[in-house]
């Protein structure tokens, strides 16, 4: 076993999930994550945790949902046996890494939406645990990223095996600015943007491209930003992480998301949203626009935003068509359609509610600025406390 697999497992168990003796832990293992699962359950055993292993597979999900397409019976709401498992758990560890990243691409969108809506209580119970999601580097993920498996392993471990305490200290600077602020303005100009050494051209990202302008204003008053340092101790639930995020109170303007994303097994590119009174009033995408439309039609909350996040992990140095990595990349900003996280909201206030939480990402390394209450805190991907910042 590559020693980095054990390092990954120990980071997940100790830093991220903060597992204690006697904790009841669900380990949900994707079909390609067996090796990481072996290291994780060994670490959990050494720490005296109680382990229940489940098997999660996109191919199994496809088979089940395709089978339900012809069924006359509706989905049962929050089946008791599934709900009880999560209600009894202290922690939930999701180990991703499937064989086919497009396995669910041909599932009927309405079947998918009905299934998501039927499991709202289960989803809430899972999110009430100390849950953490990570991935094991697999050939399918490497292929999706356009990389060899050897290069992809180096990429994954470079993003996961970080000095998380040091990064948490840096990200706290941005958290304090957001906590004290009332309004964030994101502006991205229109120009041809050449590829650079650390942003290589790919099939999805040509050497030059003309980018529609972005000018979006996000109200954040009375919100609390999360220093997402890959640990439940920071209200952070992804490994790797490396972002600071908050919940929008208001949103207005337009934004162009130029980073390609796979949504429900379909590649969506160049998403442009127009927003008024916090709601998406017009949208377009260069490819698979109907996949985006399906998300927006899920429920009333799917047309509103649950998250504004700013990436700060410089160990992630390229886009890989994986939200787990891409949204954390330094020099990006993302907004999520759908559900808001309670950690960002004042006590007693419920944020945007939805059965979905779908992140969309914009590159802000060229002709771009992020301002809080009129003061630019990042320009062209460089924060004001970093060398090279241009006021």
Q: Is the pLDDT of residue 204 over 70?
A: no
> Do 257 and 203 fall within a single domain?
yes
User: To 10 degrees, the CA torsion angle through 220, 319, 270, 377?
Assistant: 30
Identify which of 19, 14, 387 has the alpha carbon closest to the alpha carbon of residue 165: 14
Domain boundary among 115, 143, 161: 161
Share of the chain above pLDDT 90, in %: 78
3-state secondary structure of 145: helix
CA 361 distance to own-chain centroid? 10
> Do 323 and 379 fall within a single domain?
yes
Residue 144: CB atoms within 10 Å: 18
pLDDT by residue (tens digit) across 335-357? Answer: 999 999 888 999 888 888 998 99
> Do 128 and 277 fall within a single domain?
no
CATH number, domain with residue 114: 3.40.1830.10
Domain boundary among 161, 186, 220: 161
Domain count, the chain: 2
> Do 235 and 373 fall within a single domain?
yes
Q: Is there a domain that residue 388 lies in?
A: no
> Could you tell me the two tokens for 238?
């992804």
- 338, 301 contact by CB (below 8 A): yes
Q: Is there a domain that residue 371 lies in?
A: yes
- 58, 96 contact by CB (below 8 A): no
Owning domain of residue 206: 165-383
> Do 249 and 342 fall within a single domain?
yes
Residue position matching structure tokens 């590119």: 269
pLDDT by residue (tens digit) across 205-243? Answer: 433 356 688 999 999 999 999 999 999 999 899 999 999
> Do 134 and 169 fall within a single domain?
no
> Does the reported pTM lie above 0.85?
no
> Do 156 and 169 fall within a single domain?
no
What's the pLDDT score for residue 197? 46
Q: How many CA atoms lie within 13 A of 144 on its CB side?
A: 25
> Do 130 and 172 fall within a single domain?
no
- Mean per-residue pLDDT, 296-303: 93
> Do 113 and 186 fall within a single domain?
no
């Amino acid at each position: 076993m590559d020693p980095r697999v054990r390092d990954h497992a120990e980071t997940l168990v100790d830093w991220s999930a903060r597992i204690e003796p006697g904790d009841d832990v669900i380990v949900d293992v994707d079909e390609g994550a067996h090796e990481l699962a072996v290291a994780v359950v060994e670490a959990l055993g050494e720490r005296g945790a109680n382990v229940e292993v489940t098997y999660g597979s996109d191919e199994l999900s496809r088979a089940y949902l395709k089978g339900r397409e012809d069924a006359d019976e509706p989905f049962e709401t929050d089946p008791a046996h599934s709900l009880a498992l999560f209600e009894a758990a202290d922690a939930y560890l999701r180990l991703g890494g499937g064989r086919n990243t497009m396995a669910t691409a041909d599932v009927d969108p309405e079947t998918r939406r009905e299934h998501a809506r039927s499991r709202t209580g289960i989803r809430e119970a899972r999110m009430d645990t100390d849950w953490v999601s990570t991935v094991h580097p697999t050939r399918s993920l490497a292929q999706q990223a356009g990389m060899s498996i050897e290069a992809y392993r180096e990429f994954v471990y470079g993003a996961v095996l970080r000095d998380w305490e040091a990064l948490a200290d840096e990200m706290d600077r941005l958290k304090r600015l957001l906590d004290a602020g009332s309004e964030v303005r994101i502006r991205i100009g229109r120009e041809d943007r050449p590829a650079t050494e650390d942003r290589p051209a790919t099939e999805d990202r040509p050497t030059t491209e003309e980018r529609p302008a972005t000018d979006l204003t996000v109200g954040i008053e009375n919100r609390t930003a999360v220093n997402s340092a890959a640990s439940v101790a920071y209200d952070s639930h992804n490994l790797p992480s490396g972002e600071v995020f908050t919940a929008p109170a208001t949103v207005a303007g337009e934004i162009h998301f130029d980073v390609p994303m796979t949504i429900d097994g379909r590649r969506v590119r160049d998403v442009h949203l127009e927003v008024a009174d916090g709601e998406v009033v017009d949208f377009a995408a260069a490819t698979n626009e109907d996949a985006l439309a399906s998300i927006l039609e899920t429920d009333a909350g799917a047309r509103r935003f649950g998250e504004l996040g700013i990436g700060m992990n410089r160990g992630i140095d390229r886009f890989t068509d994986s939200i787990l990595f891409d949204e954390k990349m330094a020099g990006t900003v993302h907004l999520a359609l759908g559900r808001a996280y309670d950690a960002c909201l004042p006590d007693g206030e419920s944020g945007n509610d939805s059965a979905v939480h779908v992140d969309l990402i914009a590159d802000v390394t060229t002709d771009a600025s992020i301002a809080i209450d009129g003061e630019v805190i990042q320009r062209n991907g460089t924060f004001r406390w970093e060398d090279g910042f241009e006021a």
